[in-house]
Amino acid sequence: MNAKVWLVGAGPGDPELLTLKAVRALNQAQIVMTDDLVNPAVLEHCPQARVLAVGKRGGCRSTPQAFIHRLMLRYARQGKCVVRLKGGDPCIFGRGSEEADWLRAQGIEVELVNGITAGLAGATACDIPLTLRGVARGVTLVTAHTLDDSPLNWAALAQGGTTLVVYMGVARLLDIRDGLLAGGMPASMPVAMIENASLPQQREQFCTLGGLLHAAQTFQLRAPAILVIGEVTRQAGWHSVARHA
């Protein structure tokens, strides 16, 4: 394999959700740089590699993005096969394209490998179809957290008629609820909260948009979690709303 950097999606957690291409890249890697949300179990595919944890949350030290860039560049220039492993898909709220652009600007070959994104895995783990004929003609993946805290266009999201999958929303539940209600979404809209999707410790809870804060508090919702907001959520677990809304 030529010296290059692979930007690889590790999927949502379940190691069986890795792609064969991700496994092939891991098999050949000399350096593997992992994010916090990567399940360490996937590292069984690269026992030969030196593994560097460069995640940004969790412990008390964070790894600045510029440092990660320089580290990838250094190893690639040494001719090492580098795998940059990211939770879910590298380009869904994962900065994969930023890293790829930067490396390519330095003359480094980059290959991106898809991973199953958390929203997709979480919905499937709860038997929620994100699109459904006659119910939801689309799905919108949205982050509740932005670099500059700029407000989302909640009205457009509320009225778009697509299923909403909200990432990084645990600390923003009030904004999400109030924004969508003000945008015209009914308080009765069903919501699924899915924590640690696809992992053995997965937990899920169902509620309504109006009851979101209370339900999250009672359930003690913790990151990493996604919210699936939309009529499709009625396909799974809707019976439990009476107890938790």
Which residues are known to be catalytic?
A: 35, 56, 168
Identify the H or E element spanning 208. strand 203-208
Instruction: Tell me the site size for ligand SAH, rule CB under 6 A.
Output: 24
The residue among 190 and 224 lying less far from ligand SAH, judged by its C-beta, is 224
DSSP 74-142: HHHHTT--EEEEESB-TTSSS-HHHHHHHHHHTT--EEEE----HHHHHHHHTT--SSBTTTBS-EEEE
Residues 150 to 189 in contact with ligand SAH, rule: CB under 6 A: 167-168
Binding residue (CB under 6 A) for ligand SAH from 51, 52, 213, 223: 223
The residue among 39 and 208 lying less far from ligand SAH, judged by its C-beta, is 39
194 binds ligand SAH (CB under 6 A): yes
205 binds ligand SAH (CB under 6 A): no
The residue among 89 and 136 lying less far from ligand SAH, judged by its C-beta, is 89
Residues 131 to 150 in contact with ligand SAH, rule: CB under 6 A: none
> Least distance in Å: CB of 16 to ligand SAH?
14
CA distance 143 to 164: 10
Residues 78 to 97 in contact with ligand SAH, rule: CB under 6 A: 86-89, 92-94
**How many C-beta atoms lie closer than 10 Å to residue 145's C-beta?**
14
Q: How far is CA 207 from CA 68, 84, 210, 212, 238, in A?
A: 39, 37, 8, 6, 8
55 binds ligand SAH (CB under 6 A): no
The residue among 93 and 206 lying less far from ligand SAH, judged by its C-beta, is 93
Task: State the residues that interact with ligand SAH by CB under 6 A.
Answer: 12-13, 37, 86-89, 92-94, 117-118, 122, 167-168, 194, 196-199, 223-226
